[in-house]
Structure 1
Amino acid sequence: MPIIHRLSLFVLAAALAGCASTATQSTGAPGVQAAATPYRDTVELTGRLQVTYQKDGQPGSMNGGFEWAQRPGQIDVAFLSPLKQTVATISVTPQQATLTEAGRAPRSAGDIDALTRQALGWSLPVSGLRDWLQGYATDAAGKRFAATPGNNSVFTQDGWRLRFVSWQNGQNGAQMPKNIVAERSATATSDELAIQIILDPAA
């Protein structure tokens, strides 16, 4: 069974809707400009994501848990079932991206966009997520954007609208994203896509 069909069976909508914690802070509060957590090249994060997309004019969706492990030169992503079993993994290096599904031979491609578009029907924006998960982005003018609870929305250089909807306490009391929404309109080369990410409390 293709990964997109398996992952679409994940019953995580309730978790996505109700995962706010006492450490979460809503965005847009007047005068709130808490310091963002400094960017780290090595980081491990867990959470849930919900993807809705258009593929060849047809709507699709996916829900699931994930584990994100990032270090210089490599990113590893695991997609999880509701029982925390690994359904698939993605490994990305500067040379190639590899997708491994349970019971199937690994598939590789020169870049993650091509690989996930082929396998999932939508492109996982790993290069963007590397920044987004920590509250950073490259804006439409090519400048570094650091989100805060009081400055929480940006259009990126590669066509995404990001909203850092809520926040949680990170290391040393700094703020890190809790709920991120990334949306991209359809273009001549890409389909409409929206990704909601709910990050677990920082360890």
Structure 2
Amino acid sequence: MSARALTAAALAALLSACAGTAVRGPAPPPLAPAAVAAAEAAQTQRETALRLQPQWSLSGRIALSNGRNGGSGRIDWRQDGERYEVALSAPVTRQSWRLSGDAGGARLEGVEGGPRRGPDAATLLRETTGWDIPVAALNDWVRGLRAQGQGPARVDYGADGRPARIEQGGWRIDYRWPEAGGAEPVLPARLDAVRGEAKVKLIVDEWQANAAPSG
């Protein structure tokens, strides 16, 4: 078995528990033109406010699949502008991975044969594991934003005026938002991102602001 196959198998073993059923479904019913305009204005305001907060972190559960391979586990993600640190862990197997980097490159730890480096996180993960995970775009998508540098985006808004679905770069991202009101801008409770057989499902247990990577 190749090193890449071993690494992919190790990731599937690491992500060992189910993270719940998907929230994907039909697109939300269309809103009236006035409601769409109000939702678009609110979304633009959200994006402006959140881009002024480059430091954030989340902890939760993630599920990945790529055709027949898949699984789920815990995730802790810290972001500071272009710097990021993403840790995956499986308490049952006591295995863990750590992905870190910035605009200059990425580093993946916890893989067969020792740490690996690459020009960016998505390329590193694809070459090392065969998994298609759009890390740079997820920096925006996890917060319910249209991703920068990913081309035009289509946004379908729910009755609450928040994005119910974003389609961009060949990906479709469906959202679930907190039911109770909180501090603005509100951040998603869950998302499902899909492109072909590649799927990323994230359930957020906690958001924090001003939490920079440790590296």
TM-score calculated relative to the size of structure 2: 0.69
What is the CA-CA distance between 1:103 and the residue it aligns to? Answer: 7.2
Deviations 1:65-90 (A, max 9, x none): 11101002311111111359561111
Residue in 1 that maps onto 2:204: 199
Deviations 1:105-126 (A, max 9, x none): 2110112222101222112211
What is the CA-CA distance between 1:138 and the residue it aligns to? Answer: 3.7
Over aligned residues, Cα RMSD in angstroms? 3.6
Residue in 2 that maps onto 1:21: none
The secondary structure found in structure 2 opposite 1:64 is strand
- State whether residues 60 and 74 of structure 2, in contact with CA within 8 Å, keep that contact through their aligned partners in structure 1: yes
- State whether residues 49 and 65 of structure 1, in contact with CA within 8 Å, keep that contact through their aligned partners in structure 2: yes
Residue in 1 that maps onto 2:211: none
Query: Which amino acid is the alignment partner of residue 194 of structure 2?
Result: E
Query: Which amino acid is the alignment partner of residue 8 of structure 1?
Result: A
Query: Which amino acid is the alignment partner of residue 135 of structure 1?
Result: G
User: 1-side partners of 2:181 and 2:89: how far apart?
Assistant: 24
For residues 52-91 of structure 1, what are the structure 2 equivalents within 5 Å? 52-54=65-67, 59-83=68-92, 85=94, 87-91=96-100
Deviations 1:124-156 (A, max 9, x none): 211111001111114986369697654311211
- State whether residues 78 and 89 of structure 1, in contact with CA within 8 Å, keep that contact through their aligned partners in structure 2: yes
The secondary structure found in structure 2 opposite 1:131 is helix
- Structure 1 portions without partners, runs of 5+: 19-26, 186-191
> Which of the numbers 155, 172, 186 marks the counterpart of 1:175?
186
Change (3 A) 1:171 1:184: same
Change (3 A) 1:85 1:174: farther
The 4+ residue runs of structure 1 with deviation greater than 4 A are 27-31, 33-37, 83-86, 143-149
TM-score calculated relative to the size of structure 1: 0.73
Deviations 1:21-43 (A, max 9, x none): xxxxxx96988x69858412110
Q: Which has the larger radius of gyration?
A: 2
Please say if 1:111 is aligned against 2:116: no
- State whether residues 135 and 146 of structure 1, in contact with CA within 8 Å, keep that contact through their aligned partners in structure 2: no
> Which of the numbers 158, 170, 173 marks the counterpart of 1:162?
173
- State whether residues 7 and 111 of structure 2, in contact with CA within 8 Å, keep that contact through their aligned partners in structure 1: no
The secondary structure found in structure 2 opposite 1:137 is coil
User: 2-side partners of 1:70 and 1:147: how far apart?
Assistant: 26
Query: Which amino acid is the alignment partner of residue 204 of structure 2?
Result: L
Q: Give the total of aligned pairs.
A: 183
User: 1-side partners of 2:74 and 2:137: how far apart?
Assistant: 19
User: 2-side partners of 1:129 and 1:136: how far apart?
Assistant: 9
Q: Which of the pair is proportionally richer in helix?
A: 2
